[in-house]
Amino acid sequence: MASVLDQVRRILFNLKIKQRFLMFLSGFLSKIFPKDQDLAVFTTSLGKFAHNSKYMFLELAETEEIGMDLVWISDDEEVVDTLSEKGFNAINSNTLRAKYKLLRAQYVFFDNYSPISLNSWLYLGSNKVNLWHGFPYKNIISDKESGGDLIEAVSSIYHRMFYKPDFFLETSKKYLGLYKKVFRTSEVVCAGYPRNDIFYEEIGGHELFSEEPPSEDYIVYMPTYRRYDEDESIEGDIDLDKIDAILERLDMKMVLKPHHRFDLSGEFSNIMISENNLDPYLLLKESEALISDYSSVVFDYMHTGKPIIRFEYDKEEYEKKRGLNNEIKHLVPGKQVNTVEELEEALKNLEKEDTDYKDKKKEVFKYRKEGLQAEHILDQVRGS
């Protein structure tokens, strides 16, 4: 028996040695492999066609004069097949062709963190651009680990070591030092988020992989992810039936867009639960008002000039376990409510809410320029 276990250990050890060798070989090849200055690869941390990467890819695809080869790489077959059918260049990340493109790409754009489905060593020598995903009302998890979770801390260190971007998208000088510290990058790209362009212009292809928002008037509720919540759901925290009854009394409809890690279900008369494949920015664009909490979406929603309610029913617990950046609380838009009763009162008086976000928007999105943001980002990266 001991002999069998020894053999198993030896095999596993040899596999790790081979894996490490292939990783370092990939990194070496990436450093010496000739780069195509006109090749840019796009992806997202979850492999989906979404977020800032999606909108930057679509915007540049409409800009013929840039003269670049734009490639979307994903391990999601549906994403690859659909984009290919629509005439975009999309490749499955598991193919040799995708690996070759990563070795050749001068630029690799991603959001949040580089996806594990891609071998980050293959584009070690490329210019890696983190488009990020939000102005930090809550603490960035890499900067202050949630609840002292060891696994989360180790994961954070790992990503900071191996997914270090060369460029980081910054919308305001407010957090320049923090981003440089957390993501260990010295170069910053100053612009707005491409995903916010949908509030100002129609972006061709934006409807891909997304259901259409409801045709009737609605408000949208987008709660943030509570990483410390074991069941990863808001159902045990708030009474959705009570909120549904309030909406019925006020003759309002609400679309509840849970975080993609939430498991939420139920039947309500005035609450519609959105599927994960509905682009949240299309949903926000067509909505009448936003209810959220500590999510960065409250800053994005300022672009609409519509009412914002921050339903912070667990603020004390959230601040203790995750942490909030209180030094920017003067920039957080919208009315804060802490109870369902206060939420009802705020909904009754939606039309009276202050929606003059001009000064806050100017500071939060200081670096946003006129027009589509993708070209501004690319110009800075290519001109470095």
SS3 308: strand
Handedness of CA 291, 148, 316, 244 (dihedral sign): positive
Confidence class of residue 181 from pLDDT cuts 50, 70 and 90? Answer: low
Alpha carbon of residue 80 to chain centroid? 20
Of 309, 313, 286, which Cα lies nearest the Cα of 297?
309
Q: Which two tokens stand for residue 30?
A: 């990436």
* Same domain flag for 84 and 37: yes
- Considering the domain architecture, whether residues 345 and 242 belong to the same structural domain is answered as yes
Which one has a higher pLDDT value, 347 or 213? 347
pTM of the model: 0.85
Residues 45, 187 share a domain: yes
- Does 21 score more than 70 pLDDT? no
Does 140 fall in a domain? no
Q: Quick check: 158 pLDDT over 60?
A: no
Q: Is the pLDDT of residue 114 over 90?
A: no
The residue that leads in pLDDT, 376 or 177, is 376
Shortest CA distance to 88 belongs to which of 41, 52, 21? 41
Type of residue numbered 221: Y
* Domain harbouring 36, CATH code: 3.40.50.11820
Residue 338, in any domain of the structure: yes
Q: What is the pLDDT of residue 272?
A: 92
The answer on 103 and 59 residing in a single domain is: yes
* pLDDT higher than 70, residue 78: yes
**Residues 341 and 375 grouped into a single domain:** no
113 and 170 share one domain: yes
Domain-located, residue 8: no
Number of domains in the chain: 2
Average pLDDT of span 329-357: 94
In a domain, 197, yes or no: no
The answer on pLDDT for 288 being more than 70 is: yes
Least confident interval from 100-104, 143-147, 227-231: 143-147
pLDDT-derived band at 22, boundaries 50, 70, 90: low
Gap between the Cα atoms of 201 and 98, Å rounded: 32
183 and 68, same domain (yes or no): yes
- Same-domain check for residues 72 and 91: yes
pLDDT by residue (tens digit) across 30-65?
Answer: 777 899 999 999 998 778 899 999 999 999 999 877
Mean pLDDT over 356-377 rounds to 94
On whether residue 210 sits in a domain, the answer given is no
In this structure, is residue 11 part of a structural domain? no
- CA-based nearest residue to 222, from 258, 174, 182: 258
CATH number at residue 258: 3.40.50.12580
Q: Evaluate whether residue 226 is within a structural domain.
A: yes
Q: Is the pLDDT of residue 143 over 60?
A: no
Task: Answer yes or no: do 177 and 263 share one domain.
Answer: no
**Tens-digit pLDDT profile for residues 228-275:** 555 545 555 788 999 999 999 999 999 999 876 666 667 899 999 887
Q: In 3-state terms, what secondary structure has residue 33?
A: coil
- Within-domain flag for 159: no
Do 173 and 88 lie in one domain? The reply is yes
Same domain flag for 55 and 93? yes
| Structure confidence at residue 162 (pLDDT) | 52
Q: What percent of the chain has pLDDT over 70?
A: 77
* Beta-bridge partners for 309: 291, 335
Residue 150 pLDDT grade (very low, low, confident, very high; cuts 50, 70, 90): very low
User: Domain limits at 102?
Assistant: 22-133+164-192+368-382
Question: Under 8 Å CB-to-CB from 305, ≥6 apart: which residues?
Answer: 355, 357
Q: Are residues 86 and 115 in the same domain?
A: yes
Average pLDDT, the chain: 83
The yes-or-no verdict on residue 3 having pLDDT over 50 is yes
Q: Is the pLDDT of residue 10 over 80?
A: no
